[in-house]
Structure 1
């Protein structure tokens, strides 16, 4: 995160203006953020803050006076447009301290003509503490997360990590406990906008690297924030309870993280308390584990280029509310592994799929439902406005309408929908009706602007508005009343700056006025006319003069009363907002299933993985948009045979561009969709729970951390082989292609054997090493599959069909031709390939598969020390070779040498 430094205080003998002295004092207390210093209608920035902001925002840098003999850099942004500038600064990783005037300028003048208006920081704006609608993505949670580490804990290992994360814009609050192995995956699932952790923990290189993978801004805080000895008391104090027993049971690590995040909120919100839900323990073991590399490879929520468009989330999102979109993203990020919970979600989707008329009516109603959860949070933090109250009103009205729409059904309501309806039924509908009556349909953004209370809601307010807006009509009516009562058509009510409003009549016709001096009070005698006033006119004049001020005061009083009523009903409003989101997601997934012909998957506790006519959800949609081309569906069956209890591995060969990677990814995405509660793009699917999903697809380097493409490939492969189990699903693409041929082949070979013998996972393994296909003869759960290809008049035609068997060639030259390589290069490639194939036919090498034992016999017995093994001439010879520096002929000669050594040994 970008930080600023404190301004250097001026020496004692340097003259500093009172205003600049105040700025320096406040800035010194907030050194790690840009200071928005309120001056009239602008937020001003000075010194280094101004230089940083001018570059970041593209605004003009000016000067204001001198400080320590040098010009003071300065820039500013209008208060009314501050949110737009804040959004840019926060997106760039800056923190902003908002400094407001805390007293009336008139009060400051009483202390002396040169006194400075008191100012103070009222809020610290950080990426994880945003609540403003314009600063947030309506379809994404804005999580602030705390990470702490304790020695020991309920999990195995020497150390345990505590995680706590909240979304201040909605009030959700969750905690969990994890270990070092799962930490990266847990951080990736939440994807916080800001991650806070103790400064000493951030200094540890391995922890910092994992924290950086989360993608959020890193905010170091004092270690005291996570003091475990006082954590439970701090949590109980925040929620106003004596004990946390009513919230559940939490580990020491979870309590420490939760206390740390509350301390950070109190620091940044400066006394304002967001309406947080009580903490809920998120059992990490209840979700499919997906590590950061797999999430990136599968492009679940973002493409590899960082865009949301083109991801799985953007493809399946048919929600119509912000809350529904956030809930869908959350479910996609953490697919379930509890069969009953998954089936409840499937039941809800099936219900709306079978009740199309109800579903479409519901979706139409939901389109008009604002984001109640975020509006409630702003109101509770005293950042709300009239539009937030209107959002609550319209949201509650939508809840009432949805209840009516789903009340009469042709079939039994599934539990998930019934629970959502129950939360809507318990919403404060009477309050909603009052809010609808109180707030205009198009109120202003800020309460200070007034004119947001509906006409007819408050009689006194209506009268004041009439006086303010229609004073001439009111005066004219009073004049007409007096003229009719006294029979004086010449009577007028006039106004001047000396007398204000007064009654004027010709002197000759004032007999009736002078006869009642108690009512008509003489003010002035003019040549030919007399002027009077009345108590009624004086009161009316006073009301007109103060009507604007008084009407605003009444509106603000109404605003505060309604806001408090909303806060008091906050729990019920939150529950209703969640109920609307659940219904939105269920109806949206039903709409997706209908539009894209998705099928309901069977998910159980078996090891099955049998998918018929599977399609890639993103590629299929892209093909339709591109011109209506249909997607070629394929089957995949990695489940065990009848007499087995573990899954199979498919070894897939075939040329590039034929669809191997698409086939791998689509099966992984179908598992994710099924377990998040969605129907899937297939004719049918039977999936035994996948507890961990691993993917090693594509090529990328990590130069910032000193990792080549091949190193990244090996790190990701190592993570898979060290963590995958018999309930995992593994997809691997082109393992070993980033290094020399023999090295790569060896690594791929050993990886397959390890998956088969040790991990025993369900797996898809795509490769160009055709030599590996011979492994199917010795590994009983390994099957060969290939992508169908046809040649026609020298051209290659990709059929995109996965069929049993092995490819006999890679068609690399044909693919190179399609890519646009010069014709001379293509022809020369064919000549070289022909010569190499001829050499191999004349001196074929014996199949290494027949020569090497299986994985289980490769490693020496644990009891045999390495020094006790005899020297192996073949291994010594291998140590002399450097495949990267060899020509093809040198490599072939090296292979003959190894063969000769083998013959001597045998």
Structure 2
């Protein structure tokens, strides 16, 4: 709330005594209290407001009335100020007082008022109840922000902010609420929308007709709770296409709200983390409970998989978890993409409090399919500690009902169902986002996502981040090879669907309900017509099952659609929503009452015609005012004196007779009552539809699966892709002519990616030690192998000429060299932490990728750690392993474990350095990369070649080359000396 600077009239007058007005120094000080906005702010804001006045006449009258109240209040305060000054300073005449008062109010009056206007008092009360939200207050045809809220909103929205009475204020037109709320929410703010809760007609007929319009908070919005047709429509409305809305993201793939709790067992010295994630727009609820370590790697992996837009945590969250969440929240350079973190009282996360909240919530649940209290009690204690605060939080937004449905709850992960991709793996392999700018382009998701629907896009993200252990290549192959018109028709149907998954969670919005229900009905009818062809032409059991079940699951949509009036539903006309009122007796009676009043008004025309002696006279409607009697100004003498003049022009005047005044007032009251009745009947109607929610959601899930299968078929159509053979029960990876899926697409047709062969056998050579020059393609190669394994296991074709792979339970990677400031870890600490997690989690059915382990410390320590770790995986874990290194001693492990280890390097052509004839400078070597995996270890890494490519100055390169020669000579000399010592000892032994 804006800070008020209060000055008394006495102090102000005392400063100006003996002068015609305020002294210059005082004026300068007083100017400091005024608004820092530009002088033209107020004028420009009025221009903007006038340009956006398209609201109803009623709203205009409401706004005018409230502004008039404010003006009267200001006049009274000015007069009071003038009289007080006269009493306290008798020497000043009235003119001086008036002049001083005018200057005083012009400069600082609004800041110094001690009396708030009725509207300001109302805003203060609302703000005290919702201190953490920016409040947009409906005032006639616009929404206004006050105080600090106005300054924040003006900065984020780039609109005018000016001083009005006691507070800074800015405004937005009502028809642009959708756009501006989304912009504020995208920047991490919580927005409250305060609406007028009474209309002109109802207010005029009530006892408080002269009081301020009542207002209350009608909606709260954050990144995860942006639900409703006002701010997040399922379809793209006209507002979205207007200029200036391009920065508003309409359809985010996911908008999960994640709640996290943790507990530390002092006896077992074990940290247990619980989480519950809910997506209010779709109704999906994820839950999990798991042990975690100091690095919070398990939590990080799940957070990256869920990809929440908002996280709910206790105020006493541990420092380690707080650092992790801060690093995730700050990962994106774009403010719109950053995760919003909401801290709540830690008492809400205590088990007793959370259990009481959950018990009270689920005990009063009577809906069909709702979660029972017994099923809630069976959850882990840490999950309940998340569920309680989550219920309380969603109740603030009236979205708690998404937690009632038991069928929407699912465990985040079952190790037997999905391939495990750790947080480091998701990041290092660019599974969901690239590491360059955090965007999707260049990631595996970008390669695979050719879905046509938003709900299909969400499912594809889930498939990519949690690859199934039940591949679906049969369905993909049939779609790829089939020339059936049936599948093409189904593909076309999916291309024109709105977000049905979000839509069925937004059924309480009339426009969206009709859009979603009509789409479901049309889809069901068209699939029903294709059913004979589906049964006869499609051989895949998965495809046939998905398509055959869907029409029956969509049947409830037909009956509910028949009751609705299409035109009224699309326009949002509540009173005309139902085309047949036979099932709604209350609405039918109200309509009859309205028609009776209208008939009386129409009959009154005859009396008016006789009075004015105008047989052809009829009513007119102007600016929303109905049943106006229009009389030429030259004939107004014939108008009875008791008629009420409504408005006039130069040519005509318009009146209401006393009878019309009374009947028109009654008509408006009945219409307002009809709106309330329609809303009540509409809610009951939607409750009936809600009984079929789970059935319809299952149908949408079938459609999402179909969309993802079509997407994978699109991927398979790319050149040189093959269907991989997935061998259950075999530990092997054989990829012939494999390519990196993302780089292959990015390079296009002109620059062909160099393919490579990969062969790993669980019972044979299961470890590859890969050496070679810097920038030779080692990291790209190992990423390529891992990504092909992910693609194969989720049912996709892969970029290779042949592929045969076993089922993997997880892929674990340690790549890159970066520190983590938020977690307080150095580069080497980050390396070893990731390596430690892999050591504890990997099994013989895992793929382990270690890229340059040990490079963050001294050479001897690095070699020792890398050697011991690699030998542990070879001898004990027995996982399929790709190990990239620049340490030649590690290649000796091939001699120690010849049956399980193979040495490889990335091939290159070496151009020998030249020694200049006139100087002794040694030229750095130059090599040509071939990017071909070749058997055998590389002797050197040729780092000076990369230095030359990086434009390191020649003098430095020459010095480095000379130093490298010296060091290499020293090492070779030591090796020769050691070898000579061994020979001498050997000779002595033989001589004995």
- Equivalent of 1:700 in 818, 821, 826: 818
Aligned partner (choices 379, 398, 403) of residue 269 of structure 1: 398
Q: Is the 8 A contact 2:365 2:404 kept in 1?
A: no
Classify 1:808/1:238 alpha carbon distance in 2 versus 1 (closer, same or farther; 3 Å). farther
Query: For 1:273-292, what aligned pairs fall within 5 Å after superposition?
Result: 276=405, 278=407, 279-286=409-416, 287-292=418-423
Query: How far apart are residue 24 of structure 1 and its match?
Result: 1.5
Q: Which residue of 2 aligns with 1:719?
A: 837
Pairing 1:680–2:794 present: no
- Equivalent position of 2:314 in the other structure: 198
Report if aligned partners of 1:601, 1:679 keep a CA contact under 8 Å in 2: no
The answer to whether structure 1 residue 185 and structure 2 residue 305 are counterparts is: no
Q: What SS class does the counterpart of residue 836 from structure 1 fall into?
A: helix
Q: What is residue 167 of structure 1 aligned with on the other side?
A: 279
- Output the CA distance in 2 between the equivalents of 1:102 and 1:235: 28
Q: 2:724 aligns with which of 576, 600, 613?
A: 600
CA distance in 2: counterparts of 1:335 and 1:499, whole angstroms: 67
Aligned to 1:37: 137
Q: How far does the alpha carbon of each residue in 1:484-516 deviate from its partner, in whole angstroms, 9 at most, with x for none?
A: xxxxxx9967558999799xxxxxxxxxxxxxx
2:909 maps to 1:790:
yes
Task: Report the secondary structure of 1:128's partner residue.
Answer: coil
Judging changes above 3 Å, is the alpha-carbon distance between structure 1 residues 148 and 415 closer, same or farther for their aligned structure 2 residues? Answer: farther
More deviation in 313-322 or 778-787? 778-787
Q: 1:209 aligns with which of 323, 338, 342?
A: 323
1:16 match: secondary structure:
coil
The answer on 1:46 being equivalent to 2:146 is yes
Are the equivalent residues in 1 in contact too, given 2:776–2:929 (CA < 8 A)?
Answer: yes
Which of residues 232, 244, 250 is equivalent to 2:379?
250
The answer to whether the 8 Å contact 1:122/1:270 transfers is no
Specify which of 75, 78, 93 is matched with residue 188 of structure 2: 93
How far apart in 2 are the matches of 1:149 and 1:632? 48
**Structure 1 stretch displaced more, 102-111 or 76-85:** 102-111
SS at 2:775's partner residue? Answer: coil
Which of residues 354, 358, 371 in structure 1 aligns to 2:499?
Answer: 371
Give distance in 1, aligned partners of 2:357 and 2:766: 48
Check 1:324–1:270 CA distance in 2 against 1; reply closer, same or farther (3 A cut). closer
Task: Provide the residue aligned with 1:654 in structure 2.
Answer: 772
Aligned to 1:233: 359
Mapped pair 1:141 → 2:259: no
CA distance in 2 between partners of 1:806 and 1:578 (Å): 50
**Structure 1 residues 20 and 86: alpha-carbon distance in aligned structure 2, compared to 1, 3 A threshold:** same
TM-score computed with the length of structure 1 as normaliser = 0.74
- How has the CA–CA distance of structure 1 residues 611 and 640 changed in structure 2, closer, same or farther, with 3 Å as cutoff? same
Structure 1 residues 452 and 499: CA distance shift in structure 2, 3 A = closer
Which structure 2 residue ranges, 5 or more long, are not aligned? 8-112, 234-247, 330-338, 607-613, 631-662, 914-925, 983-992
Per the alignment, do residues 430 and 543 of structure 1 end up closer, same or farther by CA in structure 2, a change over 3 Å counting? farther
Deviations 1:346-377 (A, max 9, x none): 33323322324343332111101221121121
Q: Which residue of 2 aligns with 1:803?
A: 934
TM-score by length of 2: 0.68
Task: Tell me, yes or no, if the aligned pair for 1:710 and 1:738 is still in contact at 8 Å.
Answer: yes
1:652 is paired with a residue whose SS is strand
**Could you tell me how far apart the structure 2 residues matched to 1:402 and 1:814 are?**
62
Look up the match of 1:65: 165
1:704-756 deviation digits (Å, cap 9, x = unpaired): 44434333333323332343333322212122233333333333223322333
Q: Tell me if the contact between 1:734 and 1:768 (Cα under 8 Å) persists in the aligned partners.
A: yes
Q: In the alignment, which residue of structure 2 is the partner of 1:636?
A: 758
| CA offset digits 1:836-884 (Å, max 9, x no partner) | 3334344437789x99xxxxxxxxxxxxxxxxxxxxxxxxxxxxxxxxx
Given the alignment of the two structures, is residue 753 of structure 1 paired with residue 871 of structure 2, yes or no? yes
- Do 2:514 and 2:566's aligned partners in 1 also have CA atoms closer than 8 Å? no
CA pair 224-447 structure 1, distance change in 2 beyond 3 A: same
Mapped contact 2:724–2:804 kept (Cα < 8 A): no
Distance change in 2, residues 1:555/1:369 (3 Å)? farther
User: In the alignment, does 2:945 pair up with 1:814?
Assistant: yes
Which one of the candidate residues 310, 314, 317 is aligned to 2:442? 310
Alpha-carbon displacement from aligned partner over 1:120-139 (angstroms, at most 9, x marks no partner):
22222122222243676636
Q: Is the 8 A contact 2:527 2:551 kept in 1?
A: no
3-state SS of 1:721 partner: helix
Q: Give CA deviations for 1:227-276 in whole Å, capped at 9, x if unaligned.
A: 45436634633643684567996333334433432232113327876775
Deviation at 1:619, TM superposition (A): 0.6
Of 405-414 and 183-192, the range deviating more from structure 2: 405-414
1:94, distance to aligned residue in structure 2 (A):
1.6
Report if aligned partners of 1:62, 1:73 keep a CA contact under 8 Å in 2.
yes
* Aligned-partner SS, 1:703: coil
Q: How far 1:601 sits from its partner (Å)?
A: 3.7
Q: Which runs of 5+ in 1 are unaligned?
A: 67-71, 480-489, 503-539, 852-906
Deviation for aligned residue 1:691: 2.5
User: The residue matched to 2:258 in structure 1 has which SS?
Assistant: strand
Map of 1:522 onto structure 2: none
Alignment partners' CA distance in 1, 2:752 and 2:390: 50
Flag the 1:234–1:212 CA change in 2: closer, same or farther, 3 A: farther
